[in-house]
Chain A
Amino acid sequence: MVKKMEIKNLSKIFGKNGKKILKNLDAGMTKGEILKKTGHTVGINNVSFDVKAGEIFVIMGLSGSGKSTLIRCLNLLNKPTSGEVFIDGENIVEYNRKELQKFRQEKIAMVFQHFGLFNHRSVIGNVEYGLEVRGISKMERYKIAKEALEIVGLGGWEDNMIHELSGGMQQRVGLARALANSPEILLMDEPFSALDPLIRRDMHLELLDIQSKIKKTIIFITHDVNEAFKLGDRVAVMKDGQIVQIGTPEDILNNPSNEYIEDFVKDIDRTKILRAKHVMKKVGVVASINTSPKVAIKEMEDVGTSSIFVVGESREVLGIVTIDDCLEAIKNKESIKDILRDDFVTTHKETYVQDLIPMAVNSKFPIVVVNEDKKLLGIILRVSVLASLI
């Protein structure tokens, strides 16, 4: 994918002599020491990362870790103390006022934690704001704003005042206001933190749904791990103004790079993140449909199981045989085909562990992971499903 944004060695220090203090930071003083000795607050410290076009890039971290400071540097609501922010190859930090204004009007839009709506304007008046600032005609901007309201499910609320809407609806207005501008980049600073959990869940689904249609580049900030991993294509974890790990949710979950992240990851509900492919095992031994029950028993004994999957010539799963059935078959002079059972469950590699739990509970055998051609990819032992819950 194309790089949309490239953030290089970005630092922001709040206070009068930010630039000077930067040297102390480079010399290895900590955020706490700098605050004590100089009264300057380190907002972000030497942050670098790339954002790809069309991805949801989540920045996660505890309160005060510098998330807002970072995202506000991306549209220059905060002026970075040092470093560069390349967007489509242009360093926006060097923009003059006119260029910055144009950049904000056309390329980037922000959704705020407390909505930042104008309560002296109607719903549509809010959504039109960005277009109005750009000097788009009344008729045209009304039309565009109305469409944006439809997208967020607020058609028919155009003429209401902001205070007449619930919190969730207000943030939809905030989102519509951003979308109306058709920006390429959407900055969202804890947009759903002020909403109650049920509404937040609706908003997640809605955001993912909208994103699947419009494919913006989204920078999304949250302090909630579940939210981060649910929405993020990639997640950056921040601590004390620095990024301590970047990766896909699975990467971070499976290989937390330090204690801080481990702590963070602890309270996540893993079943909603982990998928079949993360807990399945590659199967070394399977029985061919053409082998004899005797050979099958031997293979089971080798790996120490009481059943074995039977596959066809191109490794498509045909069934399962148990060690008991095989012994019986030898007595009765039957072949593998005759004792093949089909009371096992199959699933795909993208299935969430959450959905595997009932399967694991109801099945005697391991769950089989197959691809579209029914080829065997791996198996999931019932204990693996339960183990992933811990």
Chain B
Amino acid sequence: MFEFPDIFQFEIGVYVERFVKWLTDNYTVFFDIIKDGVLWFLLRIQNGLLWIPWFVVVILVFILGWKAKSFKSGLIFGLMIFLIGTFGLWEDMMLTLAVVLTSVIIALILGIPLGILIAYKRGAEAIIKPILDAMQTMPSFVYLIPAIMLFGLGTVPAVFATTIYSLPPVIRLTSLAIQRVSKEMVEAAHSYGSSPFQTLTKVELPQALPTIMAGINQTTMMAMAMVVISSMIGAKGLGRNVMIAINRIDIAMGFEAGISIVFLAIIIDRLTQGIADRFKYPE
């Protein structure tokens, strides 16, 4: 047996810790603004969700399911969300949903302009593409590390990790969608004297919208998966119930929380997909 020699040991962690400390010390204001902003936004959404009476939510899910898919789907989705309530997990579900929504919205706000930038500038693509590739190959819980380093424990780092994790598909699909807009359409826009901004907003973005909507479905599903994992760093919600159940080997609680996550994921997936389908333009 050859053991790894001690002389080669090098504690890089110490330096990283120092760097992060330097970062947070010197840019306290910056991180505080992000933290406060995200928290403010999250609380708005969270309180909004909790304010809506439960039966309104059930009916709303039913109607959306009906419109987006079919009457039967509407009934099933309504029943699913009702069941989550019967498990006593209504509030936890809403907390999870709040983190998902916040993260997805932030991911869209950041991702769509970045996607547009990549579609327009080949140079930007060369820089951002490899980063996106790396981001997508990393296991999701790796994102928790920079999150706690920068923001500590709690819901904000959970939102941060979730946002970062769900950002790549938004960027990718936006740039892809814009690059694939029919050349003749873009030329038509140019030939009528559209400014670059008019071409973007009147032709390219509307044309890219169906693909971006499909991207929102993917992003939301990724956010959903990440939220559960980010309960490890203190996010409240269904994920934390799963964590607690695992620690206590509480099968009943684990089952209820687990099945609730599945239900919620199915509902979000089908609804966003149904809505995305409505945005498609016939040839």
Interface residues of A (CB under 8 A from B): 75, 77, 100-106, 108-110, 112-120, 129-130, 132-134, 161, 163, 177, 181, 187
Supposing A103-B193, A104-B192, A119-B283 touch, asked if A112 and B203 sit within 8 A by C-beta, the answer is no
| Chain B residue nearest to A126 in the complex (CB) | B188
- Residue from A104, A109, A120, A181 having most chain B Cβ neighbours under 10 A: A120
CB distance from B205 to the nearest CB of A (A): 10
Would you call B202 an interface residue if the criterion is a C-beta within 8 Å of the partner chain's C-beta atoms? yes
> Bound state CA distance, A187 and B192, in angstroms?
12
Give 23 CB contacts A-B under 8 Å: A77-B187, A101-B195, A106-B193, A110-B188, A113-B184, A116-B187, A118-B188, A118-B203, A118-B206, A119-B282, A120-B206, A120-B281, A129-B192, A130-B192, A130-B193, A132-B202, A133-B194, A133-B195, A134-B193, A161-B282, A163-B281, A163-B282, A181-B192
B207 contacts across to A, CB distance below 8 A: 118, 120
> Bound state CA distance, A343 and B202, in angstroms?
68
B283 contacts across to A, CB distance below 8 A: 119, 163
> Bound state CA distance, A75 and B193, in angstroms?
10
Would you call B191 an interface residue if the criterion is a C-beta within 8 Å of the partner chain's C-beta atoms? yes
B191 contacts across to A, CB distance below 8 A: 75, 77, 104, 108-110, 187
Would you call B21 an interface residue if the criterion is a C-beta within 8 Å of the partner chain's C-beta atoms? no
| Chain A residue nearest to B195 in the complex (CB) | A101
Interface residues of B (CB under 8 A from A): 182, 184-185, 187-195, 198, 202-203, 206-207, 209, 281-283
Q: Please state if A101 and B203 are interface contacts (CB–CB under 8 Å).
A: no
> Bound state CA distance, A181 and B184, in angstroms?
19
CB distance from A190 to the nearest CB of B (A): 12
| Chain A residue nearest to B209 in the complex (CB) | A120
B206 contacts across to A, CB distance below 8 A: 118, 120
Q: Please state if A112 and B184 are interface contacts (CB–CB under 8 Å).
A: yes
Please provide the 4 A-B residue pairs with the shortest distance between their CB atoms, ordered closest to farther: A105-B193, A104-B193, A116-B188, A116-B184
> Bound state CA distance, A112 and B191, in angstroms?
10
Contact residue among A109, A115, A119 (Cβ-Cβ distance under 8 Å from B192): A109
> Bound state CA distance, A145 and B131, in angstroms?
47
A133 contacts across to B, CB distance below 8 A: 192-195, 198, 202
A161 contacts across to B, CB distance below 8 A: 282
Contact residue among A100, A105, A118, A130 (Cβ-Cβ distance under 8 Å from B185): A118
A117 contacts across to B, CB distance below 8 A: 185, 188
B193 contacts across to A, CB distance below 8 A: 100-106, 130, 133-134
B184 contacts across to A, CB distance below 8 A: 112-116
15 extra interchain contacts, Cβ-Cβ under 8 A, other than A100-B193, A133-B192? A101-B193, A101-B194, A103-B193, A104-B190, A110-B188, A113-B184, A115-B184, A118-B203, A119-B281, A120-B281, A129-B202, A130-B192, A133-B202, A134-B193, A181-B192
Chain B binding site: helix, strand, loop or mixed by DSSP?
helix
B190 contacts across to A, CB distance below 8 A: 77, 104
A130 contacts across to B, CB distance below 8 A: 192-193
B195 contacts across to A, CB distance below 8 A: 101, 133
CB distance from B187 to the nearest CB of A (A): 6
| Chain A residue nearest to B183 in the complex (CB) | A116
> Bound state CA distance, A118 and B191, in angstroms?
13
B282 contacts across to A, CB distance below 8 A: 119, 161, 163
> Bound state CA distance, A108 and B194, in angstroms?
13
CB distance from A133 to the nearest CB of B (A): 5
B202 contacts across to A, CB distance below 8 A: 129, 132-133
| Chain B residue nearest to A181 in the complex (CB) | B192
A105 contacts across to B, CB distance below 8 A: 192-193
| Chain A residue nearest to B184 in the complex (CB) | A116
> Bound state CA distance, A153 and B191, in angstroms?
24
| Chain B residue nearest to A104 in the complex (CB) | B193
| Chain A residue nearest to B203 in the complex (CB) | A118
| Chain A residue nearest to B191 in the complex (CB) | A110
> Bound state CA distance, A114 and B283, in angstroms?
12
B281 contacts across to A, CB distance below 8 A: 119-120, 163
> Bound state CA distance, A130 and B199, in angstroms?
12
A119 contacts across to B, CB distance below 8 A: 281-283
B194 contacts across to A, CB distance below 8 A: 101, 133
| Chain B residue nearest to A75 in the complex (CB) | B191
| Chain A residue nearest to B281 in the complex (CB) | A119
> Bound state CA distance, A130 and B207, in angstroms?
18
> Bound state CA distance, A330 and B213, in angstroms?
98
CB distance from A327 to the nearest CB of B (A): 73
> Bound state CA distance, A105 and B192, in angstroms?
5
CB distance from A87 to the nearest CB of B (A): 14
| Chain B residue nearest to A77 in the complex (CB) | B187
| Chain B residue nearest to A132 in the complex (CB) | B202
CB distance from B251 to the nearest CB of A (A): 52
> Bound state CA distance, A132 and B199, in angstroms?
12
Contact residue among B187, B198, B209 (Cβ-Cβ distance under 8 Å from A112): B187
A118 contacts across to B, CB distance below 8 A: 185, 188, 203, 206-207
A187 contacts across to B, CB distance below 8 A: 191
CB distance from A85 to the nearest CB of B (A): 15
> Bound state CA distance, A160 and B184, in angstroms?
21
| Chain B residue nearest to A114 in the complex (CB) | B184
B209 contacts across to A, CB distance below 8 A: 120
A101 contacts across to B, CB distance below 8 A: 193-195
- Residue from B187, B192, B202 having most chain A Cβ neighbours under 10 A: B192
> Bound state CA distance, A336 and B182, in angstroms?
76
- Residue from A77, A105, A116 having most chain B Cβ neighbours under 10 A: A116
CB distance from A125 to the nearest CB of B (A): 10
